[in-house]
Amino acid sequence: MTQIVGQVREELSEEFRERVRARLRAQPLDWLVEQLLTLLLPGNAVAESGPRRPSVPSGVIEKTEEGGTARRARLRELGLDEDSLSRYVERYRSLNRSVLEAGGYLIDPPRKGDALIPGKCRSARGEALLREVRDVLYGLLFGGEEEGVLLGRTGRELLTLTVPRAKAHTVAFLLRAATETGAEGTCQDLRGDTGDGTAGTVFQIEYGEVQGDLVGSALSASLKLLNNLEINERVLHGRRENAEEGVRADG
């Protein structure tokens, strides 16, 4: 009887895997990433052992809009350099929540501070803007001449971003990008340090700064716009620091 049961299980194992695979493929990408984060960052396991490099499975991020040659092509079109950064900062700062709703970028989004803003609450213009701001963030943190990002970086700074654990997948692409480009990037799970007592994840990424703190200003404006378009926190807690000047809050 044991042999018979074992044989049946073996015969059905491949069918079982295929059925599970099909069910997983039908799920939203955000949900799949959230499940991966839960498996990779369970409870306080990471907090107890201290910061470490993220272990994001290869292929998760590359399948989204952030990966591959398409992103490099879009970055070259954006033309990120020291002359253009002030224009991006001015434009992004003007796109607050009220402007995004009035301009048709957002359509009946959840209240500020509630759930993530889903794709159905963004128009085509809103989706295009979200993709642009993600590209800009990548370019500011990791971009070089190959991507058409022409910034005379003269110093190293550290960006620290705290995001509720349930929303951490929205910025996980930055950690994956750090791993791919050889930049310094870590994540740490924590509880009760997101401003409202909820569990959160801390992301830390080193980046190159230019004279006049232009990259830092553009990062701050871009992250606030990302928050208004998708993350949907009342305040997105972040700070920048370097060895000489200390900490600058951007929340």
Domain boundaries, the chain: 1-40, 41-249
φ and ψ of 185, to 5 deg: -150, 135
**Among positive and negative, which fits the CA dihedral 81, 86, 91, 96?**
positive
CA dihedral 89, 94, 100, 105 (to 10 degrees): -40
Q: Look at residue 175 in the predicted model and tell me its pLDDT.
A: 76
Say what the pTM is.
Answer: 0.69
Radius of gyration of the chain, Cα coordinates, nearest whole angstrom:
20
Contact 205, 185 (CB under 8 A): yes
DSSP three-state, residue 67: coil
DSSP letter assigned to residue 179: H
Predicted confidence pLDDT, tens digits, the chain (251 residues): 666 666 666 667 777 777 777 777 777 776 677 777 766 664 444 333 343 444 443 333 333 444 568 888 999 999 999 999 999 999 999 999 999 999 999 999 999 999 999 999 999 999 999 999 999 999 999 889 988 999 999 888 988 888 988 898 888 888 776 665 666 666 665 554 555 656 778 888 888 999 889 999 999 999 999 999 999 999 998 888 874 555 455 66
- The β-bridge relationship of strands 237-242 and 155-164 is antiparallel
Q: Look at residue 220 in the predicted model and tell me its pLDDT.
A: 95
